[in-house]
């Protein structure tokens, strides 16, 4: 146990700004923008019209196939439009625009119900109907992960609380403030999968959380793995290896080695789904960065515009860069009108002086990118092939195995944007395969 993983980096954590501040509820904005596409798989199909009134938790988009989930109204109010709006992916995508009416009451169907009497199928159905997806950023539908194919039994469940991205503390606050909900969620997962080994994995930079968890976990038969803080400790493969010693094949999935990993927020959300029939309409979001006056964690309704979060926390200056997610794997935003999605763990706003300046230089062959790569790749070669569009060579050097953690770019003294080039190569290789 706690065997670490190859490579990795130690970026400044910047977590002290928000780690010990209790979360707050973000006030409702004047307008919520709820995209139909906020998960891996087919976008939901809209099932409301402009001019229609909806209750909190009402389905406004139906799931579109097995790898899809429904979308719900985050509060009660009036649907003012169903139209394309700016999406964090950079495109304009179809969204339901909702004007809150201030009532905010749950619809009648969302009353508390016990779960111990439910069948596995009924629990999976509730998780699907609640729109639960991976809240660590991947946004993969949870009911699909919990229903592995024949011949892929899962004996180990790991709750991923190894929040290794700098600045982000949303998972920490969720774990501390919603501990009982998380522990019940582990029980639900155990019941669904009949798993024998239950783990919560977190980094050793939060000893207070580990101490608080220790006895509660023991009582529930859950083991606690306190791992050395190192990025990307929270990446699925690295976490699985550190805790179980099992290696997920390069192009394989955790279920190939009998493991399921779920983010802390997801586990809390599936408890709400199974025990109360409540859909995923709110999540913890870290709002931080050098530009933010009062950094904190906000319990935020899905669809809240980033501009509203930043205005609530206050800005020191006009931000030079806004990132959704963490600084290592998050995505820079082109507009503050983009909404918080189910997979949005953080909104970070930076001033110009917070950003790394300077043009990339030539490779000095120092090998640091190779030393830090947790996937044993040769980032400098792959990035070079990508820049020259030599995709066959990039593929031969296993570009597709890259988990896009950004450790290589971070470590490079020449500031070569390695991960951006490798990401391009991965996309181009996949596009070429689809065409052929």
Lay out the sheet containing 92-100: strands in order across. 32-35, 92-100, 77-86, 53-54
Which of 408, 424, 425, 426 contacts ligand SF4 by CB under 6 A? 408
Pairing of strands 53-54, 197-203: unpaired
**Contact positions with ligand SF4 (CB under 6 A) in 344-363:** 363
Q: Is 379 in the site for ligand SF4 (CB under 6 A)?
A: yes
Is 363 annotated as ligand-binding?
yes
Nearer to ligand SF4, 68 or 380 (CB): 380
Classify 280 as helix, strand or coil: coil
User: With CB under 6 A, what is the number of residues at the site for ligand SF4?
Assistant: 29
Contact assessment for residue 200 and residue 224, using Cβ atoms and an 8 Å cutoff: yes
Q: Check residue 50 for interaction with ligand SF4 (CB under 6 A).
A: no
Is 373 a binding residue for ligand SF4 by CB under 6 A? The answer is yes
Annotation-wise, does 373 bind a ligand?
A: yes
Cα 347 to chain center, whole Å? 12
Least separation in angstroms between residue 168's CB and ligand SF4 is 18
**Quick one: which of 269, 287, 405, 425 contacts ligand SF4 (CB under 6 A)?**
405
Q: CB of residue 25 vs ligand SF4: minimum separation in angstroms?
A: 36
| Distance of closest approach, residue 417 Cβ to ligand SF4, in angstroms | 10
Instruction: Compare residues 298 and 408 and give the one whose CB is closer to ligand SF4.
Output: 408
Residue with smaller CB distance to ligand SF4, 350 or 410: 410
Confirm whether residue 26 is marked as ligand binding.
no
User: 414 or 428, CB closer to ligand SF4?
Assistant: 414
User: Phi-psi category of 314—alpha, beta or left, where left has phi over 0 and alpha has psi -120 to 50?
Assistant: left
Question: Of these, 179, 320, 414, 428, which contacts ligand SF4 (CB under 6 A)?
Answer: 414
| Annotated binding-site residue? 405 | yes
Q: How far is the CB of 381 from ligand SF4 (least distance, A)?
A: 9
* Selection from 124, 37, 33, 112 nearest residue 79 by Cα: 33
Q: Check whether 217 is labelled as a binding-site residue.
A: no
User: Residue 51 CB: number of other CB atoms within 10 A?
Assistant: 9
Cis amide bond preceding 38, omega within 30: no
Order of strands, sheet of 321-324, starting from the edge strand that comes earlier in the sequence: 24-25, 296-301, 282-288, 346-350, 321-324, 331-332
The residue (of 335 and 420) whose beta carbon lies closer to ligand SF4 is 420
Q: Which of 380, 386, 397, 425 binds ligand SF4 (CB under 6 A)?
A: 380
> In residues, how long is the chain?
436
Least Cα distance to 425 among 390, 386, 375, 378 occurs for: 386
Is 89 marked as binding a ligand? no
What's 92's DSSP letter? E
Out of 416, 421, 425, 426, name the contact with ligand SF4 by CB under 6 A.
416
Q: Give the span between the Cα atoms of 6 and 371, in whole angstroms.
A: 8
Q: Which is nearer to ligand SF4, 273 or 402 (CB)?
A: 402
Instruction: Name the minimum Å distance from CB 365 to ligand SF4.
Output: 5
Under rule CB under 6 A, residue 214 binds ligand SF4: no
Which of 315-337 are b and which e, b meaning 16 or more Cβ less than 10 Å from the residue's Cβ? eeeebebbbbbbbbbbeebeebe
Residue 33 CB coordination number (10 Å): 22
Pick from 73, 273, 287, 412 the residue near ligand SF4 by CB under 6 A. 412
**Options 38-46, 69-77, 195-203, 417-425: segment touching ligand SF4 (CB under 6 A):** 417-425
What is the distance between the alpha carbons of residues 371 and 388, in angstroms, rounded to a whole number? 24
Residue that the structure tokens 């599936």 belong to: 270
In this complex, which beta carbon is closest to ligand SF4, that of residue 281 or of residue 411? 411
Binding site for ligand SF4 (CB under 6 A): 363-369, 372-375, 377, 379-380, 402-408, 411-414, 416, 418-419, 422
From the annotation, which residues make up the binding site for [4Fe-4S] cluster?
Answer: 363, 366, 369, 373, 402, 405, 408, 412
């Amino acid at each position: 146990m706690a065997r670490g993983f190859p490579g990795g980096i130690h970026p400044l954590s910047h977590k002290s700004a928000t780690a010990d501040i209790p979360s707050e509820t973000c006030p409702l904005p004047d307008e919520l923008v709820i995209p139909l596409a906020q998960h891996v798989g087919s976008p939901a199909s809209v099932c409301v019209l402009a001019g229609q009134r909806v209750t909190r938790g009402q389905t406004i988009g139906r799931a579109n196939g097995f790898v899809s989930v429904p979308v719900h109204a985050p509060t009660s109010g009036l649907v003012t439009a169903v139209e394309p709006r700016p999406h964090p992916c950079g495109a304009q995508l179809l969204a339901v625009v909702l004007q809150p009416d201030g009532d905010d009451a749950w619809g009648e169907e969302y009353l508390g119900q016990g779960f111990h009497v439910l069948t596995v199928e009924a629990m999976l159905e509730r998780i699907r109907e609640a729109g639960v997806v991976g809240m660590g950023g991947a946004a993969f539908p949870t009911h699909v992960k919990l229903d592995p194919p024949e011949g892929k039994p899962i004996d180990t469940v790991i709750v991923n609380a190894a929040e290794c991205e700098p600045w982000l503390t949303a998972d920490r606050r969720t774990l501390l403030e919603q501990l009982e909900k998380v522990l019940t969620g582990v029980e639900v997962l155990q019941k669904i999968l009949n798993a024998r080994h239950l783990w919560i994995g977190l980094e050793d930079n939060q000893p207070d959380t580990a101490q608080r968890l220790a006895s509660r976990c023991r009582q529930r038969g859950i083991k606690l793995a306190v791992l050395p803080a190192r990025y990307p400790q929270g990446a699925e493969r690295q976490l699985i290896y550190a805790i179980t010693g099992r290696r997920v094949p390069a192009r394989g999935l955790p279920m190939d080695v009998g493991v399921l990993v779920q983010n802390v927020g997801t586990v809390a959300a599936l408890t709400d789904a199974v025990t109360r029939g409540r859909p995923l309409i709110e999540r913890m979001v870290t709002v931080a960065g050098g530009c933010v006056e009062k950094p904190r964690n906000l319990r935020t309704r899905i669809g809240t515009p980033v501009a509203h979060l930043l205005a609530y926390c206050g800005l020191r200056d006009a931000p030079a860069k806004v990132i959704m997610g963490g600084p290592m794997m998050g995505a820079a935003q082109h507009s503050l009108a983009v909404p918080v999605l189910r997979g949005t763990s953080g909104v970070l706003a930076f001033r110009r002086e917070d950003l790394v300046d300077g043009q990339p230089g030539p490779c000095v062959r120092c090998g640091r990118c190779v030393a830090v790569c947790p996937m044993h790749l040769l980032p400098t070669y792959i990035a070079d092939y990508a820049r020259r569009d030599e995709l066959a060579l990039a593929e031969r050097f296993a570009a597709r195995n890259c988990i896009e953690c950004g450790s290589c770019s971070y470590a490079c003294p020449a500031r070569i944007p390695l991960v951006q080039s490798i990401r391009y190569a991965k996309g181009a290789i996949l596009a070429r395969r689809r065409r052929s």
